[in-house]
Amino acid sequence: NIFNTTIVNAEPADNLDKRLKLLLVDTTFAIYRNVARGLFERHKLIFSFMVCIDIMRQRGSISDDEWNYFLRGATGIDKKRPPKPDVDWLTEEDWIKCVDLEENLACFKGLTEDITRTPIYCALGELEIRLNPATSDTYSDKEDDSEVIGHWEERLSMFQKLMLSKIFKEEKVVSCITDFVVVNSGKEFVENPPITLSSLYADMTNVVPLVFVLSTGSDPMGAFLRFAKERDYTDKYQAISLGQGQGPVAEKLMTAARESGGWVFLQNCHLAKSFMPRLEEIFKEMKEMGPDMIHDDFRLYLSSMPTNFFPVTLLQGSVKVTNEPPKGLRSNIRGAFASVTSSFFEDHSIGVNWRRMIFGICFFHAAIQERKKFGPLGWNIRYEFTDSDRECGLLNLELFCTEDRIPWDALIYITGEITYGGRVTDAIDQRCLRTILSRFFREATLDPDYKYSDSGVYFAPSYDTLAEYQEYVNSLPINDDPEIFGMHNNANLAFQKQETHNLITTILEVQPRTASGGGGKTSDEIVEELSENILEKMKIFTLDLDKAEQSMFKLDSKGRVNSLTTVLQQEVERFKKLLRVIIGSLETLKKAIAGLVVMSEQMEMIYTSFINNQVPTMWENAAFPSLKPLGSWVKDVILRLHFTQRWLEQGPPKSFWISGFFFPQGFLTGALQNHARRYDYPIDRLSFHFHPMSLFRDQGDYHEGLSQLGFGEEHEADKELPEITDGVIIHGLFTDAFRFNTDDCIMTSELDRVMNERMPLLHMEPKMDFTPPDEDYKCPLYKTGARAGVLSTTGHSTNFVVSVHLPTNQHPDFWISRGSALLCGLAD
């Protein structure tokens, strides 16, 4: 249909080549438009980018090696690279990126030499990419005629510049891709005009239905009713919400409408799984019926959330459109005020305070909805708050505020703990919800001078009419500043990086297996080389308990083994199991590539993961939680194995690398149990008093130093550690959404563009009946930056380790709003 319509509507031309070019352009856009309107907003740019890339790859403008490198990065583990030049402004991480680029892609030849001899600059849209400073003492003025020095802005194609933005400015990739598509495909491929029901109706027929793909908080019924009124079909449509027992009713409605020429709207198909096969049969029967058996005016409308049981035949033969709620605080609050009546809003004995309270509830609802875009910084778990939660909150206001007095305690409790809090399952998220509510909804918010944020842009106005409030809402900024959520500007950086990650992951999921990778190697060669490399590194570890340091197994006066020795034994067993999985699967994979055994589905998944630089699911299931890509993950595993083997063979370290444990909670319990046995205390009354120190330790550097020591020698870093009587010293933590000032020993705001910093060593001292000071921030420690895990009986996720109380000169609510936490490991 799309192709035929394009041939009819395309601009005519006498010249065949010109006609074919016009048809090609029109067909490309027609396919994009028809597919894109059935995609969610977050997927539309991905689709237009993939269409653009495929066209350019066919033309030869983008090579396979460039596309693979853009998606997957450099392959290989622990490659030997030249040493970093001795300049302060170049980090080790950036140097490795430059070396890998030059090694894998011919277009970047000379990059590592140019980095210290000439400014490297290129622009993509509004983004400027600078790999080194504009001026430096190391730069040379001389140009050798035999080679091109610099001029990267002219040398690189637009896609090659896009690769640089992905490697060095990850947070800018989405906006760069938008610019890339505009230049190479056209503005119409990124600007999606609003879709009206009349334009969709034009593509429908009596056998081509319309499917609304829903998302949480969206409802197309209002637009459908308005359209029915426009078409004078108010009395000729039937709408039914599907559910248990509604299938036969829906079938009767469709049969009747087919004969009379009415419209039928089947809502919420995702709630009627058992009826879907029958609906597919009805649709197929309709397709086979003669034109005289279905009335010309008959139209079928359906709505459904995305589900895997919705009939594919129906999807393929229908017009599809997504229905999403508006994004942004302004749109959200505007939608809330559209559903409030003027009588409810304006006529109340409390007067202006009543209106300010309603505004506060609506703003609070919008803030917790929009906070989700910040990922784990916003909420550990993505909660689907709905419009009915807000309506319920407003009805509670009406119920409790019957007199002139406002019962704040009751309202705050019901709103925070029941209406909204009832959805929130994570203990840290519950704390966050209460903090956000106190910003928008408490007695102090009724003060005429009260502002929701420091900038003073957001506040509850003191107007008398609903129209005035709506006018104020329309004047709010279109883009939400992180400060209204109580967050640092870096939160936007985290959001943009997450967007980039989601975009690349989505594209990778739909990629076919590539025939070759970087450097002209085949996929088989890349995977075999990786397998060989990883096997070589893993096979050196024995973790033999028979070779353990015997003093660790010495019994105390009551015949008990040291609790930390028990923790070590458990860790050894977990690592042995992981090693068996890794080594076993790699040996099978090598045989499968050689054709000696069948390539099973499991092996196929490991193969694909290696090509995509991802950790295979089979390994993830046997391992500790981690967000690292394959290369970093293997390095991390090796470092953990070295830490465990050294502890096993040489006794406990002076400072424990808490990030190196499979189960850090077990280590903490072991430390408490040792203290309880030593002083004969009940363990359930013990908790940790955390003392931050002014020392830092990187486990990779520390291990490197240890490997160079002779027998009996002590590492310099260990000599600096104080002697402690009780508890343990730990290292390996990272800050998230804050930094720790060791000079003043307090939490402070993070630096711009620096999301995570190393946390200093902590002395964890067990104490009886210890309660942290109220002014301290109870900082949650998580295993990974995902923060979410499986909810356990404690009310915390399995990703949660412990709350670390840290000194601060800000109110704890300041850090709660920011989502500040400690992490055991980063994602790279």
Lookup: tokens for 549: 């340091």
Instruction: Quote the pLDDT of residue 162.
Output: 97
Domains in the chain (CATH in brackets) are 197-323 (3.40.50.300), 348-487 (1.10.8.720), 521-652 (1.20.1270), 654-828 (3.10.490.20)
Q: Which long-range contacts (CB under 8 A, 24 or more apart) does 647-651 make?
A: 647/568, 648/543, 648/545, 648/547, 648/548, 648/549, 648/568, 648/572, 649/547, 649/548, 649/549, 650/549, 651/549, 651/551, 651/552
Q: Give me the DSSP letters along 530-549.
A: HHHHHHHHHTT----GGGS-
Instruction: Quote the pLDDT of residue 78.
Output: 72
Instruction: Quote the pLDDT of residue 512.
Output: 80
Lookup: tokens for 656: 């424990």
173: nearest Cα among 84, 49, 267, 274: 49
Per DSSP, what are the bridge partners of residue 777? 806
Residue owning tokens 């077990």: 666
CB 371 within 8 A of CB 380: no
What is the number of alpha carbons within 13 Å of residue 486 lying toward its C-beta? 26
* pTM, entire model: 0.91
CB 738 within 8 A of CB 749: yes
How many beta carbons lie within 10 A of that of residue 401, not counting itself?
Answer: 18
Q: For residue 634, give the H/E element and its range.
A: helix 630-650
How many beta carbons lie within 10 A of that of residue 190, not counting itself?
Answer: 18
Per DSSP, what are the bridge partners of residue 149? none
Instruction: Quote the pLDDT of residue 289.
Output: 87
Distance set, CA 312 to CA 40, 315, 441, 509, 596 (Å): 18, 5, 47, 20, 39
Which positions ≥6 away from 793 have C-beta within 8 Å? none
Q: Residue 421 carries which side chain, given as an amino acid letter? A: G
**pLDDT, mean of each 10-residue run, the chain (828 residues):** 79 87 90 90 94 96 94 82 91 93 93 91 91 85 61 93 95 95 94 84 92 86 91 93 92 94 95 95 90 90 95 93 86 90 92 95 96 95 90 94 89 97 94 97 95 93 95 93 95 93 93 58 89 94 91 89 96 96 97 94 95 94 95 95 95 96 96 96 96 96 92 90 95 97 96 94 97 96 92 79 97 97 94
The values of phi and psi at residue 692, to 5°, are -65, 140
Please give the Cα distance from 324 to 195 (Å, whole number): 12
Q: What is the separation, in whole angstroms, between the first and last Cα of the chain?
A: 47
CA dihedral 621, 622, 627, 631 (to 10 degrees): -120
530: nearest Cα among 640, 628, 614: 614
Instruction: Quote the pLDDT of residue 520.
Output: 61
Instruction: Quote the pLDDT of residue 62.
Output: 96
CB 826 within 8 A of CB 497: no
What is the number of alpha carbons within 13 Å of residue 230 lying toward its C-beta? 10
Which positions ≥6 away from 593 have C-beta within 8 Å? 524, 527, 528, 599, 607
CB 211 within 8 A of CB 200: no
Residue owning tokens 């309880």: 676
DSSP 623: S
Residue owning tokens 């918010």: 445
The values of phi and psi at residue 516, to 5°, are -145, 160
Residue owning tokens 């909670």: 665
Q: Residue 170 carries which side chain, given as an amino acid letter? A: E
Q: Give me the DSSP letters along 161-193.
A: HHHHHHHH-GGGHHHHHHHHHHHHT-GGGT--P
Lookup: tokens for 388: 């009915």
Distance set, CA 156 to CA 50, 68, 129, 464, 584 (Å): 21, 17, 12, 60, 44
Q: Is 129 helix (H, G, I), strand (E, B) or coil?
A: strand
Instruction: Quote the pLDDT of residue 487.
Output: 96
CB 563 within 8 A of CB 670: yes
The values of phi and psi at residue 687, to 5°, are -150, 170
Across 188-298, the runs of DSSP E, i.e. the strands, are: 210-214, 237-241, 263-267
Instruction: Quote the pLDDT of residue 514.
Output: 57
Instruction: Quote the pLDDT of residue 516.
Output: 46
Please give the Cα distance from 277 to 288 (Å, whole number): 17
Please give the Cα distance from 778 to 815 (Å, whole number): 9
Please give the Cα distance from 461 to 439 (Å, whole number): 15
How many beta carbons lie within 10 A of that of residue 231, not counting itself?
Answer: 16
